[in-house]
């Protein structure tokens, strides 16, 4: 237990020290999206899934927003540059926008 504590504290410390600002921005967005998703989930557990398509549309929209932001984070992380030789940060952002466009088009259609 003690080990875990020290490990996680060093994790946090090095996170705040070593992460570029743009990535922190993305991370905060991801945390926000995660919380939105959690709120929806808790609501569904309490109130039931009645308009199931509306719930799914909302919930999946948060999931895909989270995942797409994670993609963006990975592709723009300078540490990962060698893994994505064909993807520049600008390209990554364009992909991010395109995916979000498609997802939210479907979400709007599915809300019912």
Partner 1 sequence: MSAETTSTVARVLKPTILILIAVVAIASRLFSIIRFESVIHEFDPWFNYRTTQHLVKNGFYEFWNWFDEKSWYPLGRVVGGTVYPGIMVTSALIHNVLHFFNFPVDIRNVCVFLAPMFSGLTAFSAYLLTKELKDSSAGLLAAAFLGVAPGYISRSVAGSYDNEGIAIFLLVFTFYLWIKAVKTGSAFFGLLTALFYFYMVSAWGGYVFITNLVPLHVFTLLLMGRYSNRLYVSYSTFYAVGTLLSMQIPFVGFQPTRTSEHMAALGVFGLIQLFAFAELVRGYVSPKQFKTLLRSGIVAVGAVSVVGLTLLSLSGVIAPFTGRFYSLYDTGYAKIHIPIIASVSEHQPTAWTSFFFDLQMLIFLFPAGVYLCFKELKDEHVFIILYSVFASYFAGVMVRLMLTLTPVVCVSAAIAYSTLLDTYLEKSEHVLASNLKGIQAQSSVTDTPASNTPATTTTEAKAGGKKAAGKGTPAKTVTKAAESESKTHAKTHSDKKRYPIFNWDSRAMVIVQLTWFLFMFAWHCTYVTSGSYSSPSIVLASRQADGSQVIIDDFREAYYWLRKNTKEDAKVLAWWDYGYQMAGMANVTTLVDNNTWNNTHIATVGKAMATSEEVSYEVLRQHDVDYVLVLFGGVIGYSGDDINKFLWMIRIAEGVYPKEVKEVDFFTPRGEYKVDHEATPTMKNSLMYKMSYYRFAELYGGNAVDHVRGARMPAEGPTLSVLDEAYTTENWLVRIYKVKDLDILGRDLKDATAFEKGKVRKTSLLKRK
From candidates 18, 21, 45, 50, binder to partner 1 by CB under 8 A? 18
37 is an interface residue for partner 1 by CB under 8 A: no
Angle value at C-alpha 29, between 99 and 40, nearest 5 degrees: 85
Residue 107 lies near partner 1 (rule: CB under 8 A): yes
111 and 53 Cβ atoms separated by less than 8 Å: yes
Q: Which residue has the tokens 């994505």?
A: 84
**Could you give the count of Cα atoms lying within 13 Å of 85 in the half-sphere of its Cβ?**
0
CB of 79 to partner 1, least distance (A): 7
Name the residue nearer to partner 1 (CB basis): 39 or 97: 97
Q: Which one of 7, 25, 39, 42 is in contact with partner 1 (CB under 8 A)?
A: 7
Q: Assess 68 for contact with partner 1 (CB under 8 A).
A: yes
Q: What are the start-end ranges of the E strands in 13-102?
A: none
d(CA 12, CA 42): 27
Radius of gyration from C-alpha coordinates of the chain: 17
Q: Which residues bind partner 1 (CB under 8 A)?
A: 3-4, 6-8, 10-11, 14-15, 18, 52-53, 56-57, 60-61, 63-64, 67-68, 70-72, 74-75, 79-80, 83-84, 86-87, 91-92, 94-96, 98-99, 102-103, 106-107, 109-110
């Amino acid at each position: 237990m003690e080990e875990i504590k020290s490990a996680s504290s060093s994790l946090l410390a090095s996170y705040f020290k070593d992460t570029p600002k743009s990535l922190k921005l993305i991370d905060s967005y991801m945390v926000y999206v995660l919380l939105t998703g959690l709120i929806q989930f808790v609501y569904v557990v309490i109130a039931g899934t009645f308009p199931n398509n509306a719930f799914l549309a909302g919930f999946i929209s948060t999931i895909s927003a989270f995942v797409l932001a994670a993609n963006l984070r990975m592709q723009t992380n300078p540490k990962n540059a060698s893994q994505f030789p064909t993807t520049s940060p600008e390209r990554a952002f364009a992909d991010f926008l395109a995916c979000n466009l498609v997802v939210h088009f479907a979400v709007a259609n599915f809300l019912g």
